[in-house]
Structure 1
Amino acid sequence: MRSSLLPRPLIPEIKLRQCDIWMNFCLYMYRSVCSSTRRFTLQRSSGTSTTPVFIRDRLSNGKRLCLTFYHLQLNLRLRVGVEDALSDVSIPITMLVNPAMRISELKDKINHDYGFHPSLQCWVIGKRIAKDADTLFSHNVTEDNYQAYLFIRSAQAANLSREQQKQEEEDRRLGGIIENIETFSLQARGTVEGARRKHPPVPIKQNPPKPPVKPKPVGWSCPQCTYVNKPTRPGCEMCSTDRPTNYKVPDLYQPDEDEILRLQQEELASLQYEQSIVEEREKNFYNLLEIDSQNLVSNTEELDCTICFCPVMPGEGATLRECLHSFCRECLKQTIVNCTDAEVQCPYRDDEYACAYTLQDREIKTLLSAEEYQKFEELRLSIAESRSENSYHCKTPDCGGWCIFEDDVNEFICDSCGEKNCLLCKAIHKDMNCKEYQDDLRIRAENDTAAKKTTEMLEMLVTNGEAMYCPKCKVIVQKKDGCDWICCLMCKTEICWVTKQARWGPLGNGDTSGGCRCRVNGVLCHPRCQNCH
């Protein structure tokens, strides 16, 4: 029989489907050696680790040819050390392999078992880098526990994209389906010998050619998930991570249709967002104008008044403009009526905080009646007069007129009663000049015993420390009992009794630039201080 028409060998010990790969390899070698054959036999010995295969034949010249291939124990244990660029040590794994397996088949097995794409794998066997077409047998892998090494490259170094991986998986899946169809297709009836004569030997399985490597996609790689995004995309399409700040879109880059559509949609969404912001700002502006036109802002939600603890329905209470604290209107009204200061402070208090904001004048005017507001204005004028250094009150009994004078003014004509007041003598002296009035006052003081005794008694109280002069208006004040904080009834100055000076500085309550400076840096103003507030 000619070598071009090799007969299908009879193998009583080994089934063809189990050893067709290495058998065809042996036939290929045999065919390369001899030009013609008459008869050959295939034997397989038993009891050896390497399973030698013998091919015997008689050549045309009468000489016998014997080829022995030490080959192919069906299952070998291959020890593999897996490494990558970031690992310091290799991870050992053990695989069951066949010496006839190609490196490409070994890569497919790793891809199937562990999910590493073949393009990411680099095999080193026997200090050589193995190629895809090599077999394990060509690298002397014929015994158990042979040591090999697998190096896993990064997807960026291997120029592997997710689209390419999906395409190869689909091609591999279709190839497996076609192979199964060819394997299990029906054959025509006939004897086995006839079938063997009609059908040629099974060819050596060839892996389909790999698709050409696609060019590296243009874009930026996500630092979180490594997905390659299009250059103009501001965030990762997969995990929404922001684009690296140092990335710049190439100057000659031309976006595709999908990208142009996305950019147009983003521009439209941005315009709509800006328009909504403008509309919201206009709406808020008109709401503020409407609220500002109201003298008193009503509460919009149900609340409990922190003063009387009564429930307040929406619209029945008031919200202060300065601090946004809300109370019932009656409590705010009583706070204003009972206030002894020119400014009404917000009544909100708790264990940790006291609000320092004040009520606006239009809020006070809305809460009070006309008569109550008039009395509050008079109180304000009285406090302003007492706190003014150059103020002078008309000496006419029950007259409310007063003024603030300057150094070059000596007389004050009251607008309320019309009397002429002498600013030098601090009195009204008709038909007398200043010298005549002061002489007359001295004579009357010497003859007025009661006035003299009163003056002596007050001076004794000041000398004994039972009374003091107000540091601002010089009126004599006295502490009856309690803490060391007192308030002058004339000028409303807060006074520290133990230090005999003002509690606060010139700016009023809270000003520690002057006054007794009690509790500044945790230090009391006097060792005997009994809480001057």
Structure 2
Amino acid sequence: MALARQQASLRILLKESSYPTNEIRMKVGVEDATCSANITIRVHAHMSIGTLRQQVFQDYGFHPSVQRWIIGQCLCVDDRTIGSYGIRKDGDTAFLYLLSAKRANLSEQRCEEDKALVMLPPAPSLPDSSGTEEKRKYSTLPNMAPKKGWACAKCTYINKPTRPGCEMCSTDRPVEYVVPGSYQPDETELWRMQQEEKGILQYQQALEDERLQNLQQLLQLGGAPGPRWAAWPLSGGELRGPAGRPGPSRGGGSSGACWARDCLRQVVIYSQEPQVSCPFRDDTSPCSSKLQEREVRALVSAEEYKRFLERGLVAAERRTQNSYHCKTADCQGWCIYEDAVNEFRCPICWGLNCLLCKTLVQMGEAMHCPVCRIIVQKKDGCDWIRCTVCQTEICWVTKGPRWGPAGPGDTSGGCRCNVNGQRCHPHCQNCH
């Protein structure tokens, strides 16, 4: 009567003894925003929903805050037991929906802290006043060793250390995570890593096959003038460049006019540059098109093409600052020297060249070029020599340039030989 007068709220709880004591194999359908799976969990009818959440967290790594349990079309609350929702025998079904960590306001730090608390061993029970220890009348889960791996920031699933993405939601592995050095992958992981390596090798092989195929196609096109030059059925054989600006004169390249094959061949033969420009000229601007290497090879003979390549090497040597030409007579070998290299073994004549030659300079048998500073020598003849690298004309007896800054004929500088009929040096042997 007193409770009725106070209108106290009542809550009816069944004793654990009223529930079956046997273990129940409950079927659980797990689902999130991207995928689903079916698992079986061993429970007791008197287990609360809160305890069930902790069990799933400990066994599968899903934090309690992301779990939403649905049994018998009811959204479960933590205080009620599983049996109160109708789970009483093997095969009874429940549904577990997993929220994302962002939607559940779950941070990675909190997840790790709660996981560590779950993995801690239980504290020893304190005896009561009578000296007897109260026994727990419900089943408890054994402590499990912490799982090695990384927790997904989206679904909190614990993935294996070597997995690059989440197995559940495919989220990328955190950038700061490092696979432990002592970790030993299991058979499944080893098989997956082998498949990944096999896929990478297949991809690289496919790229290499494609490169080889492209190379073969280019080699097969080597004997043709190329798509930019189409043959016209005129006397002498003509080549025409791609359509561009029209013009009545015969041009080539992007000008769109045609040139006779012999004309282009002569341009290649007498060109002093490694890149042959289109000979077309008009009142506005010259054509900027260049003949490709395979087009040059198709225009000239093998001997002419060889000489064309040699001219390119000579131009490269002339334009390279730290180049050194082999001292052997009529040898075309040269190198690009560095400070740490003192000798150069010519790959053409196999002659050994000294890149320093300080003794020869001190004895007067060699000198430094006044422009590029390489070692030059005079074998015989007059005192006029030319640097093989920078092509500077040098006066051997004065060890300086023959002409002034303006080049040949400039007597404002250099040795000024034969100016006013006087030699540049008493021992001058005619430096022209």
Instruction: Report the TM-score, using the length of structure 2 for normalisation.
Output: 0.32
The answer to which structure, 1 or 2, has the higher relative contact order (CA under 8 A, 6+ apart) is 2
